[in-house]
Structures are given as structure tokens and as C-alpha cells.
């Protein structure tokens, strides 16, 4: 049975996943890139910045030494933001062993070319390494507070999915396995764009009808892109699709939704980014998703208008008008 895991990325999600593994009797080493912050976490035995109320379990240790972290366990779970995902893989490559397996909980695309992250792993490490992705409706603070949560673990390797299940599953953290690595990643990456759109709509003062319409038509956009990229329809109706879309479009714990709210209330993109002060994956995902939709000729009007607000200075009110002024059409 697996008893150890290395987690790379000491932000809110990496820390919550480390706490959850260690609480489940798994010896856990959490790596962060900033030595001063790691020293403070080590002294405090908690991550004051991201999860201030949560004491670390005994089996959780931290390090700023990447080689030590990678050599600590054959299971490596990456939870850094998507814009440093590839760089992190390049840095860990020399320290990997033949047994190393790579999982990630990052939600997004490679900013260089819009690739899904499994393709980035393939480019950097080759296709022989076992991989898995963890995604679903999972706010870090709620996981750390032991509030009941469910997540999808997708892998082509049933053994690796089972090892991650053994590490993570317990009475308040349910893991479901899947073989649809593509669908799970597309759901997690694109819902962030739609959460920004839902935030904008609420910030402009629109109501529950608008929000529900955005979620539903947003799901259609995720499905159009996701199935074309090779994901399975049912995945988008599950935790990593509809589940995460509902969570982030409706609850203000979502940084992407809060970012959209600020834009809808008239704040600038820079003001909103500064105020939130954490990763807002939907900002880059809006560009990458829009570019993918153009390349593949997929109709994604909410994504397109969100992209134009973020990158072409389109007034959010005009973006809503653009959506509403499109020709009438059949729903499916």
C-alpha cells in the first residue's frame, strides 16, 4: 500500500491537498518555491497566508528543496498554477526515478500553445510515465475544514488511480475514478472562464435567471470543445464538469467569480487582479479557450465575449448585448 506523496506548490490548493493526504495517514512532503514562506510555514505548522485556521497534521512536512521533494515519494502531485506547470516539469525531470508517477490538480492550459496539461507532461517527460488528474468542485478552504467534498481522479492507469484513491478517500472526501483524462481537464480549465462571465453578470446587477442561463449555455460550450478534443459527454455532466461549473459560478469563494464581479462593478482588470491577490486561472484560460475555439471552428459565444472584455477592452454591458442580440436558434 502507498504511504507517501510529494506535493509541489504550496498555495491554497497544494496545501489543502497536503493536509488531506497527511490526515489520511499518508506521509506527505509539501514543496514551495519561496524559501522565506516555507520557513514561516514550517515554524507556524500552518499556512497562515492561504489556510490560516488549519493546523498541519503530524505527517505533513514542508521543504523548499525541489530535489528532496521529488525523491521523497514515487507519487508526485503538482498543484502549481498552469502558467508555471511546464517549467515545474522541466525542473523536476532530472530527479525523477523509473517508478515516479505524476498527478496534477492544476486547472488550465499551457499558455504557450493552449495544450492540455497531459500533453505538456508527454512533451517534457515522454509518454511512459503514469499520469493522473484530480479535478472537481473543491474549494481549498472547505477541504481543509473537512466539509464533505467529492473529486474525480482520472487516469489511464487503474493502479495509479487506486493509489491516489487510497491516499485521499475518506468519510468526508469521496474520490471517484475515471479514465477520461481529457474531459476532466477541459471541464476544470473552461469553467474558470464561465465563472468570470457569471461574476460579470452578477456584478452588472443581473439576476438568478441570467446566472442559470450562463451556467447552462456555458456547459454547452464546455461540451462542444471538450467532445471535439476527445472528452466524453458524461464527464461534462459529472463532478469535473457541471459540478465544478456550478460551484465556481455561484459561490464567492471562487476567485474567478469574484474577479468577474469586480469587472461588472466597474473595476479595471488590474485593480481586480490586485484585490484578489491569488491565482485567477480564468484570465489566461479565456484567451486560450477562445483561441482553441477559433482554431477548431467551435461556436463559444460566452467565452468569446469574456475574451473580448478581458483582452479587447470591451465594455461588459456591450458584451451582454452582443450575446443577447445573436439570432434566435434551436436550443440543441
Ligand X SMILES: NC(=O)C1=CN([C@@H]2O[C@H](COP(=O)(O)OP(=O)(O)OC[C@H]3O[C@@H](n4cnc5c(N)ncnc54)[C@H](OP(=O)(O)O)[C@@H]3O)[C@@H](O)[C@H]2O)C=CC1
Ligand Y SMILES: O=C(CO)COP(=O)(O)O
Answer yes or no: is 176 a known binding residue.
Answer: no
221 annotated ligand binder: no
Joined grid coordinates for residue 142: 472547505
Q: Does residue 101 bind ligand Y (CB under 6 A)?
A: no
223-231, 273-281, 309-317, 323-331 -> range binding ligand X (CB under 6 A): 273-281
Interface residue with ligand X among 100, 108, 186, 316 (CB under 6 A) is 108
Task: Please report how close the Cβ of residue 82 comes to ligand X at its closest, in angstroms.
Answer: 5
> Closest approach of Cβ 323 to ligand X, in Å?
25
Question: Is there binding between residue 107 and ligand Y (CB under 6 A)?
Answer: yes
Give the closest residue to 33 by CA, choosing from 79, 73, 94: 79
Contacting ligand Y within 257-316 (CB under 6 A):
281
Q: Which of 6, 7, 11, 203 binds ligand X (CB under 6 A)?
A: 11
Contact yes or no for 306/253 (Cβ under 8 A): no
Of residues 202-261, those binding ligand Y (CB under 6 A): 244, 247-248, 254-256
13 is a contact residue toward ligand X (CB under 6 A): yes
Quote the CA–CA distance of 327 and 329 in Å, as a whole number.
6
β-strands 130-135, 149-155 pairing:
antiparallel
Q: Which of 276, 280, 214 has the alpha carbon at shortest distance from 250?
A: 214
Q: Any contact of residue 289 with ligand X (CB under 6 A)? A: no
207 is in an annotated binding site: no
Nearest to 77 by CA among 19, 128, 38: 19
Strands (E), the chain: 4-8, 27-31, 60-63, 75-78, 101-104, 130-135, 149-155, 173-178
Residue 231 assigned to a binding site = no
**Cβ distance 256 to 199 under 8 Å?**
yes
- Counting contacts by CB under 6 A, is residue 139 touching ligand Y? yes
Catalytic residue among 46, 191, 267, 295: 191
Query: Based on CB atoms, which residue is closest to ligand X, 12 or 305?
Result: 12
- 218 assigned to a ligand binding site: no
How big is the chain by its Cα radius of gyration, in Å?
Answer: 19
Is there a catalytic annotation at residue 46?
no
- Least Å distance between CB 279 and ligand X? 4
Q: Could you tell me the three cell numbers for 115?
A: 495544450
Cβ-contact 278, 253 below 8 angstroms: no
* CB 49 within 8 Å of CB 8: no
> Distances in Å between the alpha carbon of 64 and those of 41, 87, 194, 202?
11, 16, 35, 40
The answer on whether 255 is annotated among ligand-binding residues is: yes
Which residues in the 121-140 window bind ligand X by CB under 6 A? 138-140
**Among the listed residues 34, 55, 112, 275, the single contact to ligand X using CB under 6 A:** 34
Distances (CA, A) of 247 to 16, 28, 104, 242, 262: 17, 28, 20, 9, 18
Binding residues: 9-14, 33, 50, 107, 136, 138, 140, 191, 244, 254-256, 281
Which positions lie near ligand X, rule CB under 6 A? Answer: 9-14, 32-34, 37, 50, 79-82, 84, 88, 105-108, 138-140, 278-279, 281
List the catalytic residues.
191
Binding residues for substrate: 107, 255-256
Which positions lie near ligand Y, rule CB under 6 A? Answer: 107, 137-139, 192, 195, 244, 247-248, 254-256, 281
Amino acid at each position: 500500500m502507498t504511504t507517501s506523496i510529494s506535493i509541489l506548490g504550496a498555495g491554497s490548493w497544494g496545501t489543502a491537498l497536503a493536509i488531506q493526504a497527511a490526515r489520511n495517514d499518508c506521509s506527505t512532503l509539501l514543496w514551495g518555491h519561496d524559501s522565506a514562506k516555507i520557513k514561516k510555514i514550517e515554524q507556524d505548522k500552518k499556512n497562515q497566508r492561504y489556510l490560516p485556521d488549519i493546523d498541519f497534521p503530524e505527517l505533513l512536512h514542508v521543504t523548499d528543496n525541489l530535489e528532496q521533494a521529488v525523491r521523497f515519494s514515487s507519487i508526485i502531485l503538482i498543484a502549481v498554477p498552469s502558467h508555471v506547470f511546464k517549467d515545474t516539469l522541466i525542473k523536476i525531470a532530472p530527479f525523477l526515478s523509473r517508478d515516479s508517477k505524476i498527478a496534477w490538480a492544476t486547472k488550465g492550459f499551457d499558455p504557450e500553445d493552449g495544450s492540455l496539461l497531459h500533453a505538456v507532461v508527454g512533451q517534457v517527460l515522454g509518454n511512459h510515465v503514469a499520469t493522473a488528474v484530480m479535478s472537481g468542485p473543491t474549494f481549498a478552504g472547505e477541504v481543509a475544514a473537512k466539509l464533505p467534498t467529492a473529486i474525480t481522479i482520472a487516469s489511464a492507469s487503474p493502479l495509479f488511480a487506486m493509489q491516489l484513491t487510497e491516499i485521499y478517500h475518506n468519510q468526508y472526501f469521496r474520490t471517484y475514478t475515471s479514465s477520461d483524462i481529457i474531459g476532466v481537464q477541459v471541464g476544470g480549465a473552461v469553467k474558470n472562464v464561465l465563472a468570470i462571465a457569471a461574476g460579470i453578470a452578477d456584478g452588472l446587477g443581473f439576476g438568478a435567471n441570467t446566472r442559470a442561463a450562463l451556467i447552462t449555455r456555458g456547459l454547452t460550450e464546455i461540451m462542444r470543445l471538450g467532445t471535439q478534443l476527445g472528452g466524453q459527454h458524461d464527464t461534462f455532466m459529472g463532478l469535473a464538469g457541471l459540478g465544478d461549473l456550478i460551484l465556481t459560478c455561484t459561490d464567492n469563494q471562487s476567485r474567478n467569480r469574484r474577479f468577474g464581479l469586480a469587472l461588472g462593478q466597474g473595476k479595471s482588470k488590474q485593480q481586480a487582479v490586485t484585490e484578489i491577490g491569488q491565482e485567477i486561472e480564468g484570465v489566461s484560460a479565456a484567451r486560450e479557450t477562445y483561441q482553441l475555439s477559433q482554431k477548431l471552428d467551435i461556436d463559444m459565444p460566452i467565452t468569446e465575449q469574456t475574451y473580448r472584455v478581458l483582452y479587447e477592452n470591451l465594455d461588459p454591458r456591450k458584451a451582454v448585448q452582443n450575446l443577447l442580440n445573436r439570432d434566435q436558434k434551436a436550443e440543441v
